[in-house]
Each structure stands twice: as C-alpha cells, then as structure tokens.
Structure 1
C-alpha cells in the first residue's frame, strides 16, 4: 500500500476533497499536526507522497512557531530528492522558502475570495490545465518570489506567483483546490477575526460565492489533483 503523510497546521484546513482521491488510489494516509511536534522525526523520503497544508501563520514566524524550522528542512530534503510533494497555501510558501526564495507580506494586500487564474503556457501542459477559467479560492496575505529553477504556472492581478512546479514531482499552489463547500463552514469560524478585519470581505459574501463557485471546484479540484497524482505517483 502506498503511503501519504499530510502535515496539518490547523485542524480545519485539512485534506478535505483530496482525501477520497488518495484513498481511491490505495493510499494509507497519516496526518501529522505540526504544532504538536513530530516533524523533526519524519523521514523526508519514506512516504510516497507528502502534502503540506495551509494555515494562518507566516513561514517567517519561526520565533513564535519553532516547528517551522524542522518543517522547512524536511521539505527542503524532500525537494532535493525530487520526491512527490504538494504544497497548499502555507505549504506552497514553505516550499518556496525551502528552495531559498523570499516569502513576505503581499504588497498588494490580502487576497480572500474566489477568482480565476491566469495560467501560463507551461500550465497548459500540466494538470492545472483542468482548472481552466474556473474561479478558485484564495485566502492568503503573504506571497513569495519564484524560486530558482521553478516554473511559474499561474498568477492573478494581486499575486504574481500563484503556482509553480519544481523538478518532476513538486507542485506548489498558493490557492485552494481542496476545500469543500461544507468544509468551508469551519473556515468561516476559524478565520472570523481575519474576515472581520479585512475590508469588503464577509462571511455572507464568502458563503454565497462558495455555493456557486465552490460547487464547481468540488468537481474540478479533485480531478486536477487526480491528474497530478497519476503523473507523479503512478
């Protein structure tokens, strides 16, 4: 049986829509809550797949969240070996940092809500092509420089680097394809402070958008992930 470890930073940002895809392909899934410890003991090469999930902290917040130090090192070693790894939001930022790129608050401000991506020519030959013009969920205030050797796959007017690939087996997505409409109800509670502090964003607005855009992503997101998984973990 193939094995996947998912590194989780906050309970409500989990695999969600991606979990059934993994189970359908015979993966045994282990979830590690990084804030509770254990990251330093992980073998970076042991699993068939490593998924690094999102969370409401900055990758540069090592003083407040020291578990980030061994997590970045774990990801760096995984990337050096070109073993399958997917980073989502904070996970993408950790990948960028592990590759030596700068991660910092987005000078264009936070990006919270649903909007379409501009895919690069390289994305047309990647699993991201399946996203087409479907709006995806954005929920981030940080961004990163494109790491050396990485291929940019997507951008938005607010965030130039929305996705990149690295090597044959690394994929970093600043946006979210994993969150279900039902699962987002937990996000609205967990992120209520950030929502209240962000102009022109409200729980009602996000919920209404999810009921339209999110319903489409429940089909498109898992299909994109399945295509990528079949490519790197065949």
Structure 2
C-alpha cells in the first residue's frame, strides 16, 4: 500500500491532505529523513510530525468511560469519541465501540477496528461475561439472586427469557451482577422487574479483562494482543 493511502486510512487527513504533509516534510523516518509518497518503509519506521505513526488496522483500545458520555459518533452531546484523538474518527476501517454503555453508565468500554474481533466478543455463542457493579435505590429483597440465575426471567416486551445471571450481594443496596448477554439496558431492566431502581452502574470487567484503578475516568490505552485474549480466557 502506498504511504499516502496508508496514512490517510489512519485518519490523518484526506489523500490530498496527506500529499501536502509529504510536501511540507512532516512525514519522516525514525532518523529524521524526509519521506516521499512513493517510499516503501515498515510501519514502525514512519513518523508524522516527529511522532510514531498510529497502529495499523487490528487496533484494540480499553477506555474508562465516564458518566455523561454516549457511545455514538453523532449524538449532539458528549460522545466517547471526543475522548480519543480526533483522527481516530476517520480511520478506515472504522473504529467502533464493542457494544454500548448508556450515558449514565461508567466503566470498561472496548473499541476496535477489527470486525471479526468485535463479533467474537459480542456474539451470544461466546458467552463472554460482563460484570457490573450496581448501586440501588432500595434494599434488595433477597430473592433476586435465585430469579436472575433461573434462566426463566422474562423482561417486559420480550419473548425470550434471559440467560442465567450471577448476583453477588455487596450490601443492602449494592451488588455485583455478571451477565453474558447485552440486551438493551439489560441490568437496569432486570432490577426494575423486581421493583428496584439502579442509581449508579459501573462495568468492571469484560471476560477476563478487568478495568484497573490506574486507568482514570476519561482515559484510555491500547491493548496488547495477549490482553485481548484474556477476554476469552
């Protein structure tokens, strides 16, 4: 692939924009030598404005999503893509969230431009567990755990019962819930079905990948291949 197309596909600008970047000497190798559009060079040897070129397709990111942001590109309010470098919106193939967290939910959010990886994570067949920490408006009744684990719980306006979910009680109004599905507002609707209201919701893990304290709300980082595999471990 020509360097112009490679760099444009990574979101640095249109091909015309990138061609101008070459003319201005902004694209160099790691020794500082100016590159030309028809040069052939390994990805890791290319710098743009003195900074390493963004990773090639196959990118996977983890973000600590803060409350108040939606998992959208077009929402009029704050969106999670605002927390990434602007050029990440322009990558081809596109960078997408792996599932969604609603505006009022915080926690672990994944991004990837690898369609096969995305579907591998969200496919019901994969049975990848998502763990949520929940704060409730009212005390737990005591029978929620058995109901959630039964595999027979039916949400309003749905015909298929939920897959069994595991509830761990952390306090009178605090719990940890593990689910393997991703239905619309599922956790909130499950507690609503037993007469309670979720006041705060935080996703702590996806599969074996855990959100660590050192990743502060609004921050993100790239995932190494072995970290991606922990999702399925």
TM-score by length of 2: 0.25
The structure whose residues are more often helix, as a share, is: 1
The two structures have a TM-score, normalised by structure 1, of: 0.25
- The higher radius of gyration belongs to 2
